[in-house]
Amino acid sequence: MATDDNTSVTAVILAGGMARRMGGQDKGLIELNGRPIVEYIIEALRPQAEHIVINANRNLAQYGCYGYPVVEDIVSEYCGPLAGMASGLRAATGDRIVTVPCDSPFVPPILVERLNSALMTGDIDLSVAQDGQRMQPVFTMLRRRLLPSLLAYLENGGRKVDTWYASHATALVDFSDWPETFININTPRDKASVESKMSAPAAGMRPGR
Ligand SMILES: Nc1nc2c(ncn2[C@@H]2O[C@H](COP(=O)(O)OP(=O)(O)O)[C@@H](O)[C@H]2O)c(=O)[nH]1
Ligand SMILES: [Mg+2]
């Protein structure tokens, strides 16, 4: 069940990339110990956000099987995660979205709450995770009012997430106590290492350090 604070949050799973380093496979559908990554992510997001939207550019029917809206990039395909954020913002029913990448299976249970608290302090446009050392730009909460600015940026050829964020009031949110959040599967080797981590006796999401 989503809490009252999260009722107008739409979680957007960014599964629209080309996954070149995975040989062009559709990363959200890659199986980890027999289950597509997107299933782990949906399971983690369901208690945290009232709405879920999947952003994908391939295998739309397969993503549609989960019962959530599937939206393609609204700007020309494959210009990076900002395109997926724009589609998610347009598809959102409430006034905020939270984005997560489709290749990070260990979504922490406090993701939405923590990004939301930061967004609500002061006049903030977007809150974005950092891992203790660097910003992790695809784990973010964005106000829906940012859509015109994002579309203008993309239409002018902008592609860099950090650059677009820098033009808005941004809160950095520390997730260094949940380091597994940012483990992501970019190569076949990453996949093997996450699968063995999942099978380890102490597997499961937990705060670290
Ligand atoms: N919609 C959309 N999403 C993209 C695009 N390119 C990358 N992404 C998403 O952005 C996230 C990060 O991409 P990834 O290739 O893993 O980059 P990394 O930051 O090097 O790990 C993934 O969730 C991708 O699906 C794109 O052109 N369109
Ligand atoms: Mg990645």
pTM of the predicted protein model:
0.94
The answer to whether residue 31 is domain-embedded is yes
Rounded to an integer, what distance in angstroms lies between the CA atom of residue 138 and that of residue 99? 6
Residues touching ligand 1 (Cβ under 6 Å) are 14-17, 55, 73, 78-81, 83-84, 101-103, 138, 184, 186
Instruction: Give the position, in ligand 1's atom list, of the atom nearest the Cα of 56.
Output: 1
The answer to whether residue 205 is domain-embedded is no
**Are 7 and 94 spatial neighbours (Cβ–Cβ below 8 Å)?**
yes
Backbone dihedral angles phi then psi of residue 14, each to the nearest 5 degrees = -85, 100
Instruction: Find the domain containing 158 and state its range.
Output: 4-199
Rounded to an integer, what distance in angstroms lies between the CA atom of residue 127 and that of residue 142? 7
Q: Which residue has a Cα nearest atom 27 of ligand 1?
A: 78
Rounded to an integer, what distance in angstroms lies between the CA atom of residue 20 and that of residue 6? 34
Structural domain count, the chain: 1
The answer to whether residue 30 is domain-embedded is yes
Instruction: Give the position, in ligand 1's atom list, of the atom nearest the Cα of 21.
Output: 15
| Residues 102-155: tens digit of each pLDDT | 999 999 999 999 999 999 998 999 999 999 999 999 999 999 999 999 999 999
The answer to whether residue 208 is domain-embedded is no
The answer to whether residue 81 is domain-embedded is yes
| Residues 53-112: tens digit of each pLDDT | 999 999 999 999 999 999 999 887 688 999 999 999 999 989 999 999 999 999 999 999
Evaluate if residue 208 carries a pLDDT over 90. no
The answer to whether residue 207 is domain-embedded is no
Residue 4 backbone class (left: φ over 0; alpha: ψ -120 to 50; beta: rest): alpha
Ligand 2 is a single-atom ion; what residues have CB below 5 A from it?
A: 103, 184, 186
The answer to whether residue 209 is domain-embedded is no
SS3 content of the chain, % helix, strand, coil (to 5): 35, 20, 40
The answer to whether residue 204 is domain-embedded is no
Amino acid of residue 153: Y
